[in-house]
Amino acid sequence: MAIEHEAPGVVHRPPLETSSLRTFPWWLVAILLAIAYMVVKIVVDPTYQDAFLTIVSGLGVTIYVTIIAFVAALVIGLLAGLGRISHNIVLRNLAITYIEFVRGVPILVLIFTIAFVVVPGAVSIFGLNNSSVTLTTRAIIALSMIYGAFLAEVFRAGIEAIPRGQMEAARSLGLTNYQAMRLVILPQAIRNVLPALGNDFIAMLKDSSLVSVLGVRDLTQVSRLYASTSFRFTETYFILTFFYLVMTLVLSLLLQWYQRRLRIER
């Protein structure tokens, strides 16, 4: 039998149908089917409806805590990230100490420590009443300080990814270090790190469930209270899973859409 030799440089490509099957988002179909099953269960079963209507009251607190804490974490992370790459030895070491300290302690332990040690200590310095700081505020402070350390590394990586020539070109045009960083480096760095920031926002949304240990009436805390009084553990945690799954799936799809758009623009 004669063997056909192909010309050098020929690239083997899988048939179009096989390639389409391999790249088809089967995972998305599976998750959407799971969500559809949950929706049907909620619609047709009165016990699930009762759990849904009770737990949904904590949705606003979860979204509020996550958004406010993330905005504060962005500010903290940007300042810590700039300190991390600063030539000032004091600022650089303060930033590194903060980042490594947070990264070395479990999130749950940090939430307790910040809520019941750091916040009361800071309040006493200003002569205020400890009870004036609500548990929700303590939860926001804790999440923002924790994620500020994570975002600091994101900003540092984004700034260091900008070619050094950009800073030198800005300085050669007469800009100061501050002006070059604000007008040239940071806009490019922030654009590069937006996908990573989106991932951290999704992670914070899930980790916001940890603030339920402080008694904040978010989705998780409301669910725990409902389950302990009604003994409907299956329905309760079924609905709780449904809420987090829908929120994270929507955010993940938006993030993937933005990443594809970013690649096309480049």
Tell me: pLDDT of 12 over 80.
no
Token digits of residue 86: 């600063």
pTM for the model stands at: 0.85
pLDDT at 140: 96
- Mean pLDDT for 140-166 is 92
Report d(CA 158, CA 189) in Å as an integer. Answer: 5
pLDDT at 107: 94
Question: Whats the size of the chain, residue-wise?
Answer: 266
Report d(CA 114, CA 242) in Å as an integer. Answer: 30
pLDDT in tens, 51-88: 999 999 999 999 999 999 999 999 999 999 999 998 89
**If DSSP codes are grouped into helix, strand and coil, which group holds residue 14?**
coil
Which of 238, 199, 185 lies closest to 52 in space, CA to CA?
Answer: 238
Burial 108-141 (b: 16+ CB within 10 A, else e): eebbeebbeeebeeeeeeeeeeeeebeebebbbb
pLDDT at 236: 94
